[in-house]
Structure 1
Amino acid sequence: MWGNFNFKVASSSVSGRSGGIVTIWDPRVFSSKRVISFGNLLIVEGAFVGSARTTFLINIYAPQSQVKKKRLWDYIRNFVTQNAGDFIVFGDFNAVRFPHERYGTCFNQAEANDFNSFIHDCGLVDIKLGGKAFSQFNKRFTHRSLLDRFLVSDGILGTFPYLSGIILSNLWSDHCPIILRNERVDYGPIPFKLFHSWFEIKGFEEVVTKAWNDNTGLTSHNPQLRFKDKLKRVKEALKLWHNSYKSKQCLAKINILKEIDQMDALLDACSDPFQLATNRCIHIKTLEQMESLEAHNQAQKYKKLVHSLGDENSSFFHTAINRKRKKLQIEGVMSDGIWISNPIQVKETFLNFFVNKFKHSPNSIIGTE
């Protein structure tokens, strides 16, 4: 299957009409220690080469009965709780999580709740699947479901942060093959860094609007190049504005602190401190607002630093970041029935879509640049 005969295999026994479950792996990539097999479950315990952390490959062919499925979820839940290591749970779960994952057949909310509770209790992450929307079809394509998937633990995401799945075409089986791969997709650098606190500062919108509407020196007729040049101009304008604003804020903070010290000295000798106390409260409130904006910026900087450099004492934050990254990551796009994952082609597909959507219409009364 991968061009050589250097592989190992584990299998479960036949169960009814099911021919059993088979797991095949390359020993140069994964080293096995023991195999647990029964009924609808095949577990291979081992470790990826170069890693000392134990990994469990749990291959599933879930039964049709809701009661039996619940028993299977309970067994795996207990197994994950009682064994330390990373987990990759995959196969035919014979259950869906949400109504949109089933077409042409009735959606069982109770069964979905059991399945979702199992995923949540085990701390597993459902890997997003690209390609086709469903993994199982009947012969007439009137019934479609997403029954096959990969569920991984947070440790797997830490080792393979760019995991993605692709549902391929099915030619003979009623189920589609799925490829799980760890491939980094680079869409290039982000345009520029932007702090959330800037949106609360007076004058920020005016700077962005003025820089964006300034078409001086934009000679290219290529819309992509014009868009890039506009973003570059906005970046330069924001950089100058932020440096100026930061200098003014620093000077204003020093002056406020000096005035507060002067007021404190006057309050000790003043017989009627009402007006001084009022002015002092106003200065304190202004100082708190300035420090609040600085705190927001520092929090955003720290979050970026932890994401890039790592912190051995913040595994919780690493987990949250990895989960969010998997949720927001663009794996690819379907265009004319073809799954596209190349970043350059994905960008072109998005551009062509919006160009066609917003192109000038003969009946339009609104001009475009």
Structure 2
Amino acid sequence: MSINIGGGVNFDSKQRWIRNLCNEHAVTILGMQETKLTSPNHAAFKAFWGNFNFKFASSSATGLSGGILTMWDPSIFSCNKVISQNHVLIVEGTLANCSDPYFLVNVYAPQTKIRKRCLWNYISSFMSSNVGNFIIFGDFNSVRSPQERFGSKFSFSDADYFNNFIGSCNLTDIPLGGREFTRFNKSFSKRAKLDRFVVSDGLLRVFPLLSGLILSNIWSDHCPILMKNDVLDYGPIPFKLFNSWFNIEGFDDIVIKAWNSFNSSLSNNPQSRFKNKLKHVKEALKTWHKNIRLAAIHNKKLLQTSLAYIDAQIDNGIPYDSLAADRVTILKDIAKI
């Protein structure tokens, strides 16, 4: 997953948002742009990832702008080398059970045309000098066609140079579903598709089912973008008891009811009776929490559908002001869930 987090990393809501996305989509590699960090912040990185089971590489911000961060699950990806240049962070390594080299190229492109061309030339030269599978992702600050920009001036020369870079390097621009644009200003009057994944042909031979998705932007003016190969099934979820359950209405009632309804006369062994009684409570809690979770998932999907409908109206030209209040309410309800 890649996201320009626009405004830095030290915000609880932003950290929680990214962490929930990582958990929901089983993210194993995470790229961020515009961290605005001058040095690594392990506490913030852990807050994004959800635990300390990660490795990372980062490049520092210059002044009050910039900063790139790439994080990964060390059981999935092993790093051999990190190359940090202006506006790009390259992590070279290998995937689990694969000896071929992989290059994670995290891009935060500059604004000016000349500096962008220097960046495309650098990446092109790097690719020609290194053999392996390339995943280039991030905020490219360029679009490929007039259809990828709304409300601002389209530069044919900038698009031509960007397209030539992609074509000359034999890169494939992974189609992104979900939404039409990835970056919006506050009033939604300006929109552009600035974020994307472009990959080398070798990667597509290894992962032929690659697809991309633009997720909703809640705490940034850029949308997170997600690339995946297929759906992974990690098996049944183990039963756990979380402190947050104690605050859900009905928790006490379900525990008391299950405890009192168990027939303890089925065993003469006190230890066995107690163990079976706890097991009975556990099964009742599992059923109760499953129903609570399904209801929350259902409500969240309804809210996300409403949010997608509003965003589609905005994309089609409906004034943002007329929809702003409803959109803010929906975002608050999603965050509450």
- Give the TM-score band, short-chain normalised: 0.5 to 0.7
**CA deviation digits over 1:18-38, x for unaligned, max 9?**
240000000100111010012
**Separation in structure 2 between the aligned mates of residue 80 and residue 16 of structure 1, nearest angstrom:** 29
Q: Note the C-alpha offset of 1:16.
A: 3.7
Q: Does 1:141 align with 2:164?
A: no
Q: Does 1:99 align with 2:161?
A: no
Asked if structure 2 preserves the Cα contact closer than 8 Å seen for 1:32 and 1:47, the reply is yes
Q: Corresponding residue for 1:75?
A: 122
Q: Does 1:175 align with 2:222?
A: yes
**Separation in structure 1 between the aligned mates of residue 167 and residue 66 of structure 2, nearest angstrom:** 30
Structure with larger Rg? 1
- SS state at 1:112 partner: helix
**Separation in structure 2 between the aligned mates of residue 336 and residue 4 of structure 1, nearest angstrom:** 32
Q: Does 1:15 align with 2:62?
A: yes
Asked if structure 1 preserves the Cα contact closer than 8 Å seen for 2:66 and 2:108, the reply is no
Asked if structure 2 preserves the Cα contact closer than 8 Å seen for 1:90 and 1:149, the reply is yes
Q: Does 1:163 align with 2:210?
A: yes
- SS state at 2:71 partner: strand
**CA deviation digits over 1:242-298, x for unaligned, max 9?**
xxxxxxxxxxxxxxxxxxxxxxxxxxxxxxxxxxxxxxxxxxxxxxxxxxxxxxxxx
TM-score, normalization: structure 2? 0.54
The two structures, once aligned, show a CA RMSD in angstroms of 2.0
Identity percentage over the alignment?
Answer: 54
Q: Corresponding residue for 2:160?
A: 113
**Separation in structure 2 between the aligned mates of residue 10 and residue 68 of structure 1, nearest angstrom:** 23
TM-score, normalization: structure 1? 0.50
Q: Note the C-alpha offset of 1:140.
A: 0.2
Q: Does 1:49 align with 2:96?
A: yes
Asked if structure 2 preserves the Cα contact closer than 8 Å seen for 1:13 and 1:38, the reply is no
The residue type paired with residue 79 of structure 2 is S
Aligned length: 191
**Separation in structure 1 between the aligned mates of residue 191 and residue 130 of structure 2, nearest angstrom:** 35
In structure 2, the gaps of 5 or more residues are 1-18, 24-49, 232-303, 310-337
Q: Does 1:86 align with 2:133?
A: yes
Q: Note the C-alpha offset of 1:158.
A: 1.2
**Separation in structure 1 between the aligned mates of residue 147 and residue 307 of structure 2, nearest angstrom:** 19
Q: Does 1:6 align with 2:53?
A: yes
Asked if structure 1 preserves the Cα contact closer than 8 Å seen for 2:59 and 2:89, the reply is yes
**CA deviation digits over 1:92-112, x for unaligned, max 9?**
000000110000001100000
- SS state at 1:27 partner: coil
Q: Corresponding residue for 2:80?
A: 33
Q: Note the C-alpha offset of 1:180.
A: 1.0
